Amino acid sequence: MTEILRPDQVRDRYGKLFCKGFFTIVDESNGIAQVIEQCIARGPPEWDAVNRKRAGGVVKDVRVDGHSLVMDTLIGEGELSFGPVSEDLGGQGLKSLVLDGDTVLTTWVGLAGASVGVGACIPQAPEVIEAIYPEGFRIGGAHRAELQVRSPKMLRAIIGADDTDTKDKGASWALMMNLAQECPVGRFLEHKIIQLNPLVPNKTTNCCSTAVSFAVEERKLEELLRFAQDYLQENTYSEDTVMTSFTGLKVPPALADFGWRCKSEIFTIDDALAAAAANSVEVREVTGPKGTIGAVAAIGCFDMGLRSAGLPQDFK
């Protein structure tokens, strides 16, 4: 018989552990997902990252950012392969990630001491709805632990903005950071400053646009976008502020190409609107149209890492 426990009940059973956040973000159109775990230290995410990538399952890529572990996964089920290291080192892996209504059900396997992380630590995260334990479940020692964790199905929403300042007042990057920190909807994930072509004739000083991303439940997506638009409306210094938004884990290659070209070429507002329309980017004119190009480019460049902040000549 299975046993279903809430995070507080898991904490009562195993003691307070270390998982501060657990987000399951899905992109159904591309058949992919992203699992983000936030820890109180860097060591556990680093160890987990190596072991989960080794085990395979539905994990395609793993990286550690500060105290957070980010896993890119498939939606579905995969075979785990702990290999001969399991006899001496234990192991840990994500066997499946499937959708169940407005929730995500992940299946975890842990061997030996690694079973504590998936069996007792992750299930305590505040975002977890419940953990489902099979009969006879045990962690630690020489045990093999397998369980399921149910969490909200979330989307990644990227919000871009440009032309929020003037030559005398404001900075778009700071305004968007404040927006992200004050937003009561979803969970703030990343903030990016997008360097654009400094030779364009219409700019303030640095010619940068900005974008932020959130993990948000689908039913709250419009509430998130409305908050962002209202925040920009109330706090911008410019009469030409534009907000853009994109939902998904994979920025379309054509949109990324447009964003990259905005670092060295000069485009029109119509060019940017066409790129947005072709790549599922929503454009909202907040106070005026001139920020359209930078706001669309901010979405296109969002997942470029350091290239987001640089110009083409910086990477030759």
In this structure, the number of other CB atoms found within 10 A of the CB of residue 313 comes to 8
Rg (CA), the chain: 22
pLDDT tens digit sequence for 110-128: 887 678 889 999 999 999 9
For residue range 103-114, list pLDDT tens digits in order: 999 999 988 767
Is residue 131 pLDDT above 70, yes or no?
Answer: yes
Answer yes or no: is pLDDT of 87 > 60. no
- Summarised one tens digit per residue, pLDDT across range 19-72 is 999 999 999 999 999 999 999 999 999 999 998 998 999 999 999 999 999 999
- Look at residue 207 in the predicted model and tell me its pLDDT: 85
pLDDT, position 246: 98
Residue 141 scores a pLDDT above 70: no
Q: In terms of residues, how long is the chain?
A: 316
Name the residue with higher pLDDT: 145 or 299.
299
Per DSSP, 87 falls in state H
Q: What confidence score (pLDDT) does residue 137 get?
A: 87
Mean pLDDT in residue range 62-85:
90
Average predicted confidence (pLDDT) for the chain = 93
- Taking the whole predicted model, whether its pTM rises above 0.85 is answered as yes
Q: What is the pLDDT of residue 92?
A: 87
> 54 or 4: whose pLDDT is higher?
4
DSSP H/E element including 12: helix 7-14
Q: How many CB atoms lie within 10 A of CB 283?
A: 21
Q: Which of 46-55, 138-147, 229-238, 257-266 has the lowest mean pLDDT?
A: 138-147
Find the farthest-apart pair of alpha carbons in the chain and give their distance in angstroms, rounded: 69
- CB distance 24 to 152 below 8 Å: yes
Which pLDDT score is estimated for 155?
98
Residue-level pLDDT at 204: 60
Nearest to 69, CA basis, from 97, 50, 89 = 50
What average pLDDT does range 261-267 have in this prediction? 96
Q: Report helix, strand or coil for 206.
A: coil
Count of CB atoms situated within 10 Å of the CB of 246: 24
**Alpha-carbon span 287 to 122, nearest angstrom:** 44
Average pLDDT, integer, range 261-282: 97
- List domains and CATH numbers for the chain: 3-154 (no CATH), 163-315 (3.30.70.2200)
pLDDT in tens, 177-233: 999 999 999 999 999 999 999 888 765 666 899 999 999 999 999 999 999 999 999
pLDDT at 142 over 60: yes
Mean pLDDT for 276-281 is 98
As given in the structure block, the two tokens for residue 34 are 């992203």
